[in-house]
Structures are given as C-alpha cells and as structure tokens.
Amino acid sequence: MRIIYTILIFMMSLTTITYSQISYDVYGNFIPSDRINFRLNSLESNPGNYALTKDWEFAISFNTVFARQYSTNLFFVSLGKRIKDHYLYARYTPGISKEFKFTASKSNIDDSLTVFETDLIYKEKFGFGYSYNISPVLTAGISFRFFQQEFSEEFPSFIAGTEPQVLIKEKEIVSKDFWQADFGISYSIMKNLSLNLSTNNFIIFGRNYQNVEESDFEIKKDVFDLRKQRTGVLGINFSPFEALALNSKIETNGSFSADLSTHFKFMEKEFTVGVTALHDRYQQPFIAGIVPVVNVANQFYSVTLSGIKYLSNRLTPRSVAEFKEKKISNIVNNYFVNDEVFLTVNFALSFQPEKYVKILDVEILTEIYPTLADVYVTKPFARGKIVNLSDKKITVKPFSFISEVNKEEVQSPAVELIPHDTAEVNFYTIVDEKFNLKRRKIESVDFIVKTGNGEPDDIIQKPILINDKNSWDGNVKNLKFFVERDYDFANQYAKAVLKNAYDSLVNVKPPLKNFYKVKILFDNFVKNMQYVADRRASVENVQFPSETIELKGGDCDDLSVSFAAVLESIGIQTAFVDYKPEGNNIGHVNLLVNTKLKPEQAGLITSNDKKIFIRKNTDGKDEVWIPLETTSLTNFETAWEIGAEKFYKTAIENFGLAKGTVEIIDVF
C-alpha cells in the first residue's frame, strides 16, 4: 500500500495544471473479479473494454437525480458479445445527458423585464468498444464514444421602424458533435494483482465550425465546450485476500479515485459491497464525492445499486460566468451536477452454457501408430493443462476426437479441480482394429473438456500425425502388437507345419516337445526366406507375420515378430531380446524361446551351457530358454548358436542385462 501511495503522491506532484476528473464511472472503480462474470463498468473508466463476459450480455440502467426535484430516467442500455478472444460492446446512453440553463434579464421601456436564456445541453449518445485477449493475462482494447452539444442563446432585438423601439427576443442555436476514441490495456501480473493503462481524449474528431471567432455569440465559440484535455490513467487492482479488493486509478492530471470492496457468498449468490472515494482537483473538498456500490449476482443476472454523493452543497444556483470559468469535463460528474442513484440490471443472454473449465494448452506426446492401438488406451497420447474458472469444486471429463481415426469422442479419466486451480489431464484414445491408412497423414484432433453431460466447456484443436499400419515407433516393447495382429494366420501356419512333422514329433518325450516344435517350425520358417532391409524412410516399418511369411523376406524385427507369432500362437513362450544401439552399433532384435525344460534337463538339448539362459517363470521356478538369431536363415542349430553367442557375450559377459544395454521383453 505504501508503494501505491508513493506512486500516487509522485504523480500528483508532477501535475501542475489541474482539471476536473474526466473518467468517472457510475460504479466507481468496481471491476469485475474472476467470481463475477458480468461487465460492471463502462467505457468511462474502462476504455480498454475489458470484460469477463462469456457470451451475450444485455444490461439496462436507470438513474434518479436528487436535484430540486427528483427525476428518473433510462440511463443506458447495452449489449455485449464475446466471440472467442474478441469482445464487442455497444451502448445507447440517453441518461448521459445534462442540461444547464442560465438566465439574464433586460429592462424594457415600460420597466418590465425580459428574461434571456442560455441553454447548454451535453449528451453522450452512444458508444462502442472492442477488445482482444492477447493472452490469458493480457487484454487490449479501444472505445469510441459519440458526443453531442446543443447550445442556444437568446438575445435582444429591436423591431426596426417602431417608435418607441420594441424589444423582442431572438434565439441563436448551435449544435456541435464529435467522436472520442481511447485505448486501454489490462495486464494480470498475478492472480491477485493487475494493472490497467488507458487514455482519455486520445483522439477527438468531429465537425469543425467556421468563423466562430468572429461570431458575437459565445455558444459558437468554445467557451462552453466539454474540456477535452488528453490524459493517461493508471489503474491498480489488488486483492490481498480472497474477500477483499483494493482498486485505484490515478490520472496524469492529478485526480484519483480509490475503492475498497468486499465480496461474500449468500444463498448461492455473490454479494459485493464497495465504496469509492473521488478526488477531483477542481472540485472541493479534497474528496469531492463518494460512490457506494452494492451488487448481487449469479451466473444469469446481476443487480447493481450504486450512486454518487457529493460532499459539497450542489443546490446553490450557479451563474453563467462561473460555468464559463470552470467548464465541465465530464457530463455525469462535474461541479454543476447533483447526487444521483443508479440501478443497473445485467442479464446473461448466453446461448452457451456457463463455462467452468478452460484448456490452457495441450501437448501432443506421440504420433499415432495404428497397430499400437492398445498403447493409447493405457498411455496418454496427449497431455493438457486446464484451469477451473469457477469458484466451486468441479469434475472435468476430458475427451478427444481424432478425425478419421475415431468414430465418436473418446473419454479419458475425469479429474477433480478445486476452485481456480489448474491441473494436468491425460488424453487417451481408441484406434479401431480395422483402421488402416495407406500413407501417413496429418489429421486434426479435438481436445474437449466437459463439466456436464452436454455441451463442451472448451475445445482446442491440434494437428497430429497418423502413421500407416506398418509404422512402428522403434520401441521393441511395442513389437508385440504386430505379433498379435496375425495370430490366426500364424496359428494356421504352425499347425500345418507341425501336422506334416507328425511322424518326427510323435515319439518325442513331453519335456522335449516344445524344443522340437521350435526346431521344426524354425527350419520350415527359414526355407527360402531372405533378409531384406527396411526401405529408407523417416519411420520404422514392421511387417505383419502373414506379410513376412508370404513375401518370404524381412529384416530382424520382421523376422522376430513373425516367428514369435508362430510360436506364441501354439502356446510357446517367447521374448524379444532388445540389443540397444551403442556407439556406432545399430540396435538389433532377436528372440529368446522358452523350452519349458528344467535346468537339470538342459543336458538333453545341449552339452554347452553357454547356449541356454535360465529364467524364473511366474511360479518362481527356473526354466531353460534358448536364444535364436532369427536373421540366421540357415537352420535351427545355426540360428541357436549365433543367437547364443551374441547373447552370452553381450548380455552376460559384458553385463548388458545389468547395464540396461540389453533388455529381455516378454511378448506376453
């Protein structure tokens, strides 16, 4: 507070010429907080057109003037509309109109008096505002206001040729109008502190009058015109506690206003009570007036009772000389007006439901690989940051919809958010098994958040790369999805081969059956098979088992996937051995196959214990696994020897398994 006070005093000390306070609002400094969604100030103190209005808003205000007699009028009607980050505002202001009448009398020959009247009418007829949310914390805008001044002056005239001369009244009428344009920006430094900078009378344009200097009539000169000095305004809004707000505005001309308001909730409605003190260097006393405000609001409407109470006597008649000397800068607030009360009702004419949650950003974590569909059910493909805009605890349901991939929105797990809190949400998706793209393609994905069952609260759209069905993300763990896709084919293939080998298998003792099945299947699998490297491409490709067997060729991942599918389809357990790339060595993948033999039985298949690897099964019992180099397209014995040599050297002797440079990944 001391800093604000120091700034205020400093700015006041810079001002040598003082004018009456130009920007005055019927609500004082009352600025809508995050808790109130209505616009509760106008273009006078908010030329930047800052508003929290979500969609359409209609407002109507009535004022009662406490002069010698009460009069109640329509003060303004306004309509606002938000379109994404743009906010448009228009208002008709019949109530911003003041008439000042001054009289002078002249004696006639018969000693009677003729009264001559000078009538000054000031009107602000309508205004427009436009603002743009540059970012969630920065808004900039512009306002246009149309003013009209109608002045009339009665003057004496004598009828020519009459004796004695007859005095009559004649009247000179002048109408002047002009536009005023101002700019403003609002910046939220933090959640409870924001700054506003705006102009007053920045641009004035309108009709010019000719020969006004030569005129006999003062109304044609600018002596009664609204003062249009160009000034700047700095506004500070600070909320030290949730229920307390301190707002102040300092003008470069030295005038300032300061506001204290508190809000509380009662019967599901938000109540705000505040008071603004106005200091106007032209008006007396030091605090020229106070503006009390009471507001009650819910999400559909807002009712505001506000007023201005001047702390000096406003009922004393003023002379035209005094008016000429002091002039006026503000139609509503000036030295010559009286206390007023305003009743304003705002209605949310929203055709969209109230938004409780907003998506701040979404990060795409991975491209979509259709064959890895199951990955996206358990692992998010995108992560978003959301904020609870409301003052209540909400449950947010995130959805995603990827064009061409999804037939309907896919719901991800809901998250709970406390008022005004931010959180991360994960987006998962389901890719249909039959989904197939011939070429990689960029599609759009809609990220949607809902708090109810109906309309979304917010939607963000982002591009995402969808790969074809053979694309692979290079993660060996995900090769299993290629294995399971062709299970039926692999099973038919395995059964057909084993059927032909019935004679050689029938006498094999059960513990060795798995081993011999693997041998027979491998020897058949590699018949006429060729090693064919992947095509040069920016993404890894893996063939489905049926493709590899039918094409009779593939690289290490194609062959490992294909033979794993053949074995798994008949219940023989397999694991990928992922030799990770190291230095100049490129990565490699081959297989470990479970013979189901006990370590004591290993001697039945080999006399060389380097060719086996002991692993515990799910029951904690040791089983003999054998490494198979699937790219060794000769025969089973050679593939086993080559596989074992590589595995023993890299995974065991060089501690690859412990160092993590070699990983065993069970297919299932």
Partner 1 sequence: MKKILLILFLASTLFAQEYVVEKVKGKVLVQKGTSEKWETVQAGDKLNGDALIVTEENSFVRLNKNGTRFVIDGNSALGLNYIKKISINDLLLALAMEEIRNVPKIKKSGEVKSTAVYGADVTNEDDIAVLENTLGEKKLNGAKLLAENGYKESSVIVAKETYRKYPATKKRIADRIYFADILADLGLYQEAASEYASIKKEPMTDAQRKILEKKIEQVNLKLAK
Binding site for partner 1 (CB under 8 A): 509-513, 568, 570-571, 573, 598-604, 606-620, 622, 641, 644-645, 648, 652-653, 655, 657-659, 666, 668
Choice between 404 and 666, CB closer to partner 1: 666
Closest CA to 469 of 434, 436, 432, 443: 436
What CA–CA distances, in Å, run from 83 to 53, 136, 573?
A: 10, 15, 59
Please identify, using beta-carbon distances, which residue of 387 and 566 lies nearer to partner 1.
566
User: Which positions ≥6 away from 463 have C-beta within 8 Å?
Assistant: 442, 443, 444, 445
Q: Is 95 in contact with 75 (CB distance < 8 Å)?
A: yes
Closest CB 410 distance from partner 1, rounded Å: 22
Cβ atoms < 10 Å from Cβ of 240? 11
Residue 568: CB minimum distance to partner 1, A: 7
Dist. CA 284–CA 281, nearest whole Å: 7
How far is 657 from 306, CA to CA, in rounded Å?
76
Residue number, 276 or 569, with CB nearest to partner 1: 569
- As a whole number of angstroms, the distance between CA 327 and CA 377 comes to 73
Q: Which residues of 22-37 are buried (b: 16+ CB within 10 A; e: fewer)?
A: bbbbbbbbbbbbebbb
Residue number with CB closer to partner 1 (160 or 506): 506
Please, are residues 456 and 398 in contact by the beta-carbon 8 Å criterion? no
The least distance separating partner 1 from the CB of residue 530, rounded to whole angstroms, comes to: 25
Q: How far is the CB of 39 from partner 1 (least distance, A)?
A: 56
* 374 vs 468 by CB, closer to partner 1: 374
Tell me the sheet residues that pair with 302. Answer: 297, 346
Whether the Cβ atoms of residue 203 and residue 180 lie closer than 8 Å to each other: yes
Cβ-based nearer residue to partner 1, 221 or 513: 513
State the nearest-atom distance from the C-beta of 654 to partner 1, in Å.
10
- What are the residues facing 531 on neighbouring strands? 554
Contact 351, 79 (CB under 8 A): no
514: tokens are 């798995």
Return the H-helix or E-strand segment holding 205: strand 203-206
Q: Report the residue number, 286 or 655, with the smaller CB distance to partner 1.
A: 655
CB of 513 to partner 1, least distance (A): 7
Residue 164, preceding peptide bond in cis (omega within 30° of 0): yes
The answer to whether 540 touches 478, Cβ cutoff 8 Å, is: no
Of the pair 102, 516, the CB lying nearest partner 1 is at 516
Beta carbon of residue 650, minimum distance to partner 1 (angstroms, whole number): 12
HSE, CB side, 13 Å, CA atoms: give it for residue 360. Answer: 13
CB of 544 to partner 1, least distance (A): 18
Report the residue number, 13 or 618, with the smaller CB distance to partner 1: 618
Kindly list the distances between the CA atom of residue 239 and the CA atoms of 8, 39, 249, 393, in Å, as whole numbers in the listed order.
Answer: 18, 18, 15, 21
What is the closest distance, in whole angstroms, from the C-beta atom of residue 610 to partner 1 in the complex?
5
Of 197 and 512, nearer to partner 1 (C-beta) is 512
Nearest distance in Å: CB 668, partner 1 = 5
Q: What are the distances in angstroms from CA 3 to CA 6, 9, 10?
A: 5, 10, 10
Minimum CB distance to partner 1, residue 643 (Å)? 9
Please return the burial class of 88, using the count of CB atoms within 10 Å of its CB with bins 0-12, 13-18 and 19+: middle
- Supply the minimum distance, in Å, between the C-beta of residue 584 and partner 1: 22
Cβ closest to partner 1, residue 206 vs residue 571: 571
Which CB atom, from 342 or from 522, has the smaller least distance to partner 1?
A: 522
Q: Pick from 335, 331, 325: which is nearest to 149 by CA?
A: 331
C-beta of 145 vs 480, nearer to partner 1: 480
R_g of the chain, CA atoms, integer Å? 42
In whole angstroms, how close is the CB of 435 to partner 1 at the nearest point? Answer: 23
What burial class does residue 278 get, using C-beta atoms within 10 Å of its C-beta: 0-12 exposed, 13-18 middle, 19+ buried? buried
